[in-house]
Each structure stands twice: as structure tokens, then as C-alpha cells.
Structure 1
């Protein structure tokens, strides 16, 4: 029987190797990109919001460590179909719990990168004229 730690590691590697909605979202309404200046991890999140503020679709792209990329996948899987209000109530602590294993403060920054990006993405509408450029 695998230990709890081994189960977490397997779940994280699954999200890293076969991520949820990795790529770019054509027709996105909101988008934001940021990086962790300490290590260079980069995450961009594209959102398509419906007129009622519900997340219709979401994708991420970027480069970085297993933690930053797997946590982005986990976050998008978690928030797909939720409203902006529900997303705003999803805290950094919620993100760390979603990820699972305890992390050192520096590694927490890797995990929280996608959470920071999505919190900004909802305030970053895409200009239709800029889309695709």
C-alpha cells in the first residue's frame, strides 16, 4: 500500500506529465502572465468568462519546475465552471491545501504562482483587437 506522500507525489506528477488544459485559449476574455523572479518559473492563464462571470473555459501555459506547472493544472481543474466571486474567495491557503504536500517557503512561491496569476487575470480583460497577436 503506497504511503500518503507517495500518493501525493503520483498525483502531482500526473498533473505535470498530463496537465489539465495546458495550451492557449483562443477567444479568451481575460489573460495574465507572471513569473517568479527567484527561479524564473513563468505561468500564463487565459480565461473565457461568460456574461454572468462564470469561468466557461481556462487554459495555462508556461515553463518552470514540477511544482509551478502541476499546481497550475490543479488550480484550473479546481476552478473550471466556478464564478469570479468563488474564485476571489479561493485563498492562498486553499491553494496550498489543494496542492497537498507541505512545502518550504521558497517552494510555496512556486505553488502560489498560478494562484497569483489567476487572481490578476480576472482583472485583465483582453482587447479583442489584440487577441491572437
Structure 2
């Protein structure tokens, strides 16, 4: 990535952080929801979406996080809105591979602006948190997605006490 590309990508990330799309938003009639947390950067988001006829009809997110997390969530909502479930899952894998493994950023369109994040290993978790939260929402997991795996630092939904 050359210097001009890096500057352009940084500007897009900052723009999506300053003015995130589909935020704060909990779409009316949401059918899927998940929460994600990154204790290393204190990013915490919730993804809400409406899935109908195998397509993401509406999507939004709430929460707070660093510029990279918020920009990634904003870019993600734009990228998957109106997409069929299979395309969304495929896009998740391509973005994850780009972020975590420095795989070629092919077939991901504007999401390529996140390509440089792999150079900063601590920030990969910030950029990937919204995507893992989306995946958890699609799979209807009840646990909070945590970048550090099961951890006392990651809040879990409260469980009712067993009857005595």
C-alpha cells in the first residue's frame, strides 16, 4: 500500500468514525441481535438486524469504541445491507482473512480501507469485533462475543438463578 492509498484509507476510516452509518440504530422488527466486547480497547457494540427471506433487510449498531471499531462497524452495515445471507457469510470470511491473515483484499469493495489494520496486531481485534458480532447475531448466539475468548473481563448475559 503506497502513501497516497494509506492517506485515503485513513480519511475514510476517520469519516466513518465521525459519522457512522446506521448508528445508533436498532431496526424496527429486528430478528437477530448480538453484543460484542473487546476488553483490550474497551470497544463494546451491539448489532441488530432484520433478516427476512434470507436477506438482511435492515441493520444497525449501538455502542462505543475506538475509531477503528466504529468505522469497521459502520462500513460493515453499509456492506451487508440488502445482501443475501450466503453473501454476507462469505464477506465475513474474506474480511476476517484480510484482517487476521493479511490475505488479499479481493471482492470486498470499499472494505479494503481496513486492509492496513493488519500492520497493527492490537487493532485487528478492534476492526474484527463488529464482524464477529454480526456472525454471532446471524447464528443467534446468546453469549457476548469477546475478543479474548471466555474471560472474566467479558460480560455475559445474566443467568437466572436455579430453583432451590
What TM-score bracket applies, with the shorter chain setting the length?
A: 0.7 to 0.9
Structure 1 residue aligned with 2:97:
93
Return the offset for 1:93: 2.0
Which consecutive unaligned segments of at least 5 residues does structure 2 have?
A: 106-110, 143-164
> 1:108-131: per-residue Cα shift (whole Å, max 9, x none)?
0000000100000012289xxxxx
**Against the structure 1 CA distance between its residues 60 and 115, is the aligned structure 2 distance closer, same or farther, given a 3 Å change threshold?**
same
Structure 2 residue aligned with 1:115:
131
Q: Confirm or deny: 8 A CA contact 2:55 2:84 kept in the other structure.
A: yes
**Relative CO higher for 1 or 2, CA cutoff 8 Å, sep ≥ 6?**
1
- Report which of the two structures shows the higher radius of gyration computed on alpha carbons: 2
Q: So what's the TM-score if we normalise by structure 1?
A: 0.84
| Deviation >4 Å, runs of 4+ | 94-97
Which consecutive unaligned segments of at least 5 residues does structure 1 have?
A: 127-133
Structure 1 residue aligned with 2:16:
15
Q: So what's the TM-score if we normalise by structure 2?
A: 0.69
